[in-house]
Copies of this chain bind each other. A is one copy, B any other.
Amino acid sequence: MRKQIKHLENMSEFVGLSVKGGVTNAPIINPYLTKTRKKPILSVEDYVKGILDGNISVLSQAVTLIESSLPAHQKLAHCILEKCLSFAGNSVRLGITGVPGAGKSTFIEVLGMYLVSQKGKKLAVLAIDPSSERTKGSILGDKTRMEELSASRNAFIRPSPASGSLGGVARKTRETIVLCEAAGFDTVIVETVGVGQSETAVHSMVDFFLLIQLAGTGDELQGIKRGIMEMADGIVINKADGENIEKSRLAQNLFKNALHLFPYPQSQWTAEVLLASAIEKTGISQVWNMVEKYIDFVIANGYFQNNRNEQSKYWMYETIDSQIKDRFYNNINIKKLLKQVEQDVLTHKISSFAAAHKLLDKYFCEEGYEID
């Protein structure tokens, strides 16, 4: 019987269904992720040695440990992480965002090939896409869309961790950056899709934030989510080819003018707006020149290190804040009460503050009101 279930489990993994799992155990059709089911066979030292040797297979397994939700895997992952930490930090971290359809994957493929073949870089491509489900195309899509790059010896492409909150997913990606750097990758691209809060998360772990945009009907600016453009250190108008060139030049001016409306960033860097065509492979070297110019600029004025320090602090506090919130909202008593109390607030039975304190009192099991 046990064997039969085991067999069913294996089957179900294959066809993308889950026998036992339900919601918490999403169906797995991504072959790169099946390794989470295997017992790790290496010791911490073996993992660390493998990573420092640049062994991609070991790196890949270590990333799988980071992504795993099993406590044993997590402990192991964190031991590896702490040991790799002092070997990390030596890469240029580039965040890339843009709405679906802007051609991010193709752009990254072409930029990536330029970096590995012409600039001699070792490139890791990671992704944060909390909206993705394993059954949707986006996870496997990256590897298939980046066919040439994924075949390169000097590139490591890793899809988005497939489950968890944005904070959790982002944290795992940030840990993966550390491992990639320790494995000798000198350039890291973190890709995210232009939805939700994922840009802020990516912005908080990269040195340069690139927005990929399309020329369109003149409405380009309308479509940009609040704050995204202000975070951009550079904008690339992609698909600036053929009939699109004239429109793309107009969009370039539009974006240049719009950038002037924003306050000067802390980095003191003036964001640039470039044209490129991933399909025709034009404008790619200019994009990389911009990134290098920026890095030189912010290293010289001290912003580079300052920003990385702020990011480290940010992730410490972000982790703390999200953990204490998770504990609160996952508390069994709070879960029971929350919906009713929220309803009472909406129907004006109690104030927002009384509602909050009702829940807080329940959680901390204490004597009564304690405000500020």
**Complex CA distance for A348 and B308, rounded to whole angstroms:** 11
Stretch at the interface among A42-50, A56-64, A79-87: A79-87
Contacts of A360 in B (CB 8 A): 319-320, 323-324
Stretch at the interface among A102-110, A220-228, A275-283: A220-228
Interface 1/0 per residue, A64-79 and B, CB below 8 Å: 0000010100110010
| A117 is an interface residue with CB less than 8 A from chain B | no
Contacts of A253 in B (CB 8 A): none
Minimum distance in angstroms from A332 CB to a CB of chain B: 16
For the residues of A in contact with B, the DSSP-based class is: helix
Contacts of A314 in B (CB 8 A): 352
**Complex CA distance for A226 and B230, rounded to whole angstroms:** 8
**Complex CA distance for A320 and B368, rounded to whole angstroms:** 15
**Complex CA distance for A315 and B86, rounded to whole angstroms:** 42
Those of A308-343 within 8 Å (CB) of chain B = 309, 312-317, 319-321, 323-328, 341-342
Instruction: Assess whether A351 is in contact with B71, with CB atoms less than 8 Å apart.
Output: no
Instruction: Assess whether B353 is in contact with A315, with CB atoms less than 8 Å apart.
Output: yes
Taken together, the copies of this chain in the complex come to 2
Instruction: Assess whether A85 is in contact with B312, with CB atoms less than 8 Å apart.
Output: no
| A175 is an interface residue with CB less than 8 A from chain B | yes
Those of A148-192 within 8 Å (CB) of chain B = 164-165, 168, 171, 174-175, 178
| A345 is an interface residue with CB less than 8 A from chain B | yes
Chain B residue at smallest Cβ distance from A316: B352
Instruction: Assess whether B222 is in contact with A263, with CB atoms less than 8 Å apart.
Output: yes
| A346 is an interface residue with CB less than 8 A from chain B | yes
**Complex CA distance for A164 and B372, rounded to whole angstroms:** 8
Q: Which of B85, B317, B348 contacts A86 (CB 8 A)?
A: B348
Chain B residue at smallest Cβ distance from A356: B319
| A371 is an interface residue with CB less than 8 A from chain B | yes
Contacts of A327 in B (CB 8 A): 364
Instruction: Assess whether A313 is in contact with B78, with CB atoms less than 8 Å apart.
Output: no
Instruction: Assess whether A74 is in contact with B369, with CB atoms less than 8 Å apart.
Output: yes
Contacts of A15 in B (CB 8 A): none
| A249 is an interface residue with CB less than 8 A from chain B | no
Instruction: Assess whether B313 is in contact with A351, with CB atoms less than 8 Å apart.
Output: no
**Complex CA distance for A171 and B264, rounded to whole angstroms:** 32
Q: Which of B165, B261, B316 contacts A372 (CB 8 A)?
A: B165
**Complex CA distance for A17 and B197, rounded to whole angstroms:** 47
Residues of A participating in the B interface, judged by any CB pair closer than 8 Å: 69, 71, 74-75, 78, 81-82, 85-86, 89, 164-165, 168, 171, 174-175, 178, 221-227, 230, 258, 260-264, 309, 312-317, 319-321, 323-328, 341-342, 345-346, 348, 350-357, 359-360, 363-364, 368-372
Given A168-B372, A313-B342, A319-B360, 17 other A-B contacts at CB below 8 A? A81-B351, A82-B354, A85-B351, A164-B372, A165-B372, A226-B262, A312-B352, A313-B345, A315-B356, A316-B342, A319-B353, A319-B356, A319-B357, A320-B328, A321-B321, A323-B356, A324-B328
